[in-house]
Amino acid sequence: MSAFWSAWVTVITLAVIFGCTWLLFQTRKSETYKESTDTTVGHVYDGIEEYDNPLPRWWFQLFVATVIFGLVYLALYPGLGNFKGLLGWTSTGQWEEEMQHAEEVYKPVFAKYAALSIEDLQTEDNKSGLQMGQRMFANNCSVCHGSAGTGAYGFPNLTDNDWLYGGEPATIKQTITNGRNGGMPPWGPVLGEEGVRDVASYVLGLGGHEVDPDAAQRGETQFQALCTACHGQDAKGTLALGAPNLTDDVWLYGGSFEAVTHSIRNGRAGMMPAHKNLLSDDKIHLIAAYVFSLSND
């Protein structure tokens, strides 16, 4: 926060507090408090007159106590611009302290399951380990892959056996740890619009869709020239590159003719963030075990 805005926040905050305090004392009756009075302030609403009675003593004292509490709080904790407070408290510091405490408490629990292989964690005896992985999946992965891991537009379904980079336990763990960067270049400028539609016809035909056979034949020639480097001559994909299998009719961005032509014409760029700096190895191990279980039930 700049010095100007820090001063602005400080002045406004203190002005409001002291202004309310001045108003409180200014309107307080100087004479001895009375329980009631016949004096009115001259206001009448629907025949009801407003009497000029002072605030009850306890109510006035509560206001004063609130002002004192507010000033003490602002002295101890941040609230006046860039002033950090006498205690030096920060929300980040408290979060880090609580996280460190949680790590110390639960580290033995995670270590117990981390000593087991992902395959061993699939057994009924280790069901609680998978449940822990499920909860961490919900906290860290469900925003993209869905609470049940069924995916969404542009986010893979983790409950089937169709994997871009492989579904082996070690591969899943590597994916979560280091993330993935997938990209398909735009072929529209190379193929032209007619070429894009021809290749889309060929690709959709591989998945069993009814297409124009002449367009598919032309598209096959272009596919073999441009696409096999990633998807393979048989179009079954390449796990090392994350290039999808185009023959199984499973589509990350939709399998309609319009969706496939869009992918070919404009390309695609997918990215899964690395979690190695967000989660410990033990937690990643449990999440990987849960993800592995989704497609092996």
User: Is position 132 within any domain?
Assistant: yes
Final residue in a domain of this structure, among 76, 102, 118 = 76
Q: Is 43 annotated as a binding residue?
A: no
Pick from 33-42, 160-169, 278-287: least confident: 33-42
CATH number at residue 152: 1.10.760.10
Q: Is 272 annotated as a binding residue?
A: yes
Classify each residue of 231-261 as buried b or exposed e, where b means 16 or more C-beta atoms within 10 Å of its C-beta.
bbeebebbbeebbbbbbbeebbeeeeeeebb
213-230 mean pLDDT: 95
User: Is position 83 within any domain?
Assistant: no
Domains of the chain: total: 3
Q: Is 231 annotated as a binding residue?
A: yes
User: Is position 81 within any domain?
Assistant: no
> Domain limits at 105?
92-179+275-294
The DSSP secondary-structure symbol of 41 reads: E
According to the model, what pLDDT value does residue 33 have?
46
> Model-level pTM?
0.72
Integer Cα distance of 166 and 156 in angstroms: 12
194-215 mean pLDDT: 95
* Mean pLDDT, rounded, of the chain: 91
User: Is position 86 within any domain?
Assistant: no
Q: Is 230 annotated as a binding residue?
A: yes
User: Quick check: 182 pLDDT over 50?
Assistant: yes
40-49 mean pLDDT: 80
Q: Is 144 annotated as a binding residue?
A: yes
